[in-house]
Chain A
Amino acid sequence: MSTRRGLHATGRTVPGLLFGSLRVTRRRTLLLCGHRGLSTGQPLQNDFFKDLESQFKAFRQKASDALAGRVWTPLANRPALPPERADVVIVGGGVVGWSIAYWLKKKERIRDGVRILVVEKDPTYSQASTVLSAGGIRQQFSLPENVLLSLASADFMRNIDEHLSVLNEGAVDLHWNHSGYLILANENAAPVMEKNRKTQRDAGAKVSLLSPVQLKDTFPWINTDGVALASYGLENEGWFDPWALLNAFRRKAMSMGVQQCIGEVTGFSCRTNIMDTVDGDCVDLKRITHVKVQMPNSLEYQLVRCAVVANAAGAFSGKLAQMLGMGLGPRSTIMAGIPVPVEPRKRYIYALHCPDGPGLDTPFLIDYSGVYCRREGLGGNYIAGTSPEEVEPDAGNLEVDHQFFEEKIRPHLAHRVPAFENLTVTGAWAGFYDYNTFDQNAIVGVHPMVNNMYFATGFSGHGLQHSPAVGRAVAELILEGSFKTLDLSGLGFRRILEQEPMLEMSF
């Protein structure tokens, strides 16, 4: 064995000798095999080309070093065109999109049964709502669907190693903090909170109600002035790292064979069936046949033939839906009557530092004024934000308005937690909510007029915490035709068509 290895080593160092003879052997045996081409390997001539590639790399490195100050890549890496055909095209590479991709692959019965393409326009995720979110998860909602979605997602994340671990890669670590949510209510909101607690308890969430005295006892650093009732989540609530969850989904889905494409969806090709109703009206039933994916910074595009399109584009889902004419057209047509009322809304998050603020047991505090605050790390850092009431900030960019903090957040924070009177703002960022202007709840389901476009959008700030469960629901809808584990038919398009909003009575 060792002698053969020695021979092998000399083979590398003396290319001329052994190399030449090997090449000769190869060609001869190739002729013997004829045209069948049953080679399990590439001929050793590859070595020469591999060297060439490393020499090219060295040349590029030397050239870029020589031209100091300029980034010069003569053969820049351009993202590859997507494949010409796919079964399911998922528009949007955020946590919801990759969750749908993972669950579709998990539920396919045979290997490579469903070909999935995830189209994401920004590989740096600079404007994606997933990575810019505060990362909290709670079960304290008023709609039972929302409570069940959060519980199912917490279940998923508890067993995340069973679901999302990839062979030979480390365990998934979401950096979960199990500190719970603490929602404060004034006198007007207290009856609503009690009613919500009954809904939550029936759905299986563990939430306890605290009176102001008990609240002061549990959290001595709170000022209970104006608080009539507080609800504190005991289990499955807290916050985690959204980037870790996104990467876990993405890594697992790609290991199962999902293809990713960097590009922007700029149009669709549809096949329209024009039908007449009994009253004589014309109804257009559309079916998407191709998705037009445009490459970044280029005029290249690819028409991807697909069977199903899943809209998980987050804040930009409304724009995508308008490309199909949803919500547009004459007022009397059905298409105009079922818009996708999702638009991006900018929300600010401020990073604060307060050395003598509340300690390790700080929950995710939500005041009845809408201001929220949670601990970040162990060094006395916190994160705060709120929803603007009157004037919405301009959603064209992600610039932060620091004046907003001084006017809207600081007074409420200082009132509620006296230790926050001398805090300093260390940073801030802004992100988009995929805000559902109709009723601020998710839209999950297939559009009635475009029968192969499935929506998982409009979460209005709750997308991250519902993403595993919503991904499973949409995968069931696509592959099995109906919801199997959680019935989310209440979150479909029917309520938009009938103009019956399902409002969430909490924050």
Chain B
Amino acid sequence: MLGLSKSMSLRPRTAVGLFPSTRPSGVIVSPKSLVQTKCSSSSGSKNGRVAITTQGGEGVFGSGGPMKMSPDRNPCSSVGLRRELMPKHVAAILDGNRRWAQVHGKELDYDAFCYGYLDLADLCIKWGIPTLTCFIFSTENWKRTKEANNLLFGQFKQCLENSSVNFTRKGIKVSVLGEKTELPKDLQEAINQVEDETKSNSKLELNFAVNYGGKWDVVEAIRNMSKKAKAKEIKLQDVDEALMDQLLSTSGLRVSDPDLMIRTGGDQRVSNFLIWQMSHTEFYFTDVYGPDFAEPHFIDALRWFQQCDRLFGK
């Protein structure tokens, strides 16, 4: 009667329920995408295709498992996607790991977090996205407990070592962005090894942001500027946006600026991730917890992205 959505809760969400232009709870989608995406009005329903999941983070799509693809020559059209509108660079923050563990009564574990990014990498290869940047550890995450950080570093190192053969087989070039010198020595060695082994691969640029911050990246660019200045004089007038682009940690990528950023877990913020590079990036926020983020959710994100009107200020 009061028009309140069942999905309203104490978790951070976008506006729902009270306002005529209601969106599925938890997802910021442009009004146009509501026409295309079939959304169930009751969250948690397993009958409709929904862009978001319930409070508990259950993946909801048809049977609840990964969508079965028809053996179509053009898989994009079968799911309403257009190959020419695919993002060239996707940034991802698979947040919600801790809450997912609490909901499922499990101990905190970052395996699902790390391997979730590798599954996302597979999806990017499948859907023809050449660059994926994943946020593993922020410069601000040092505030967490030492045990949690050591657990993350240890499991991430294990993930890299276990997957190095697959990286080569799948043509994935791995790079790590961030201040590596502050990381544990064994992790640094594992990073150097996997970067070295995969440097000539070209199917997918897979970047892990470890001990990374957008502000750190800008300060590092100035440090790089100083080094270049020492080699050949740079005048003050040479400092412009184009020079900064060349000196940031993403300068070596095919496309340095992400077209789409996906953040799971319900938090609607950028959290100091690629701040310079994401000036015109489209943000897709979803309530799905990171470990539950699967292909159907990714396709929904891509479908939403393809309907965005990207004007770049015009």
Pairing of A with B: no
Which residues of B are interface residues toward A (Cβ below 8 A)? none
Which residues of A are interface residues toward B (Cβ below 8 A)? none
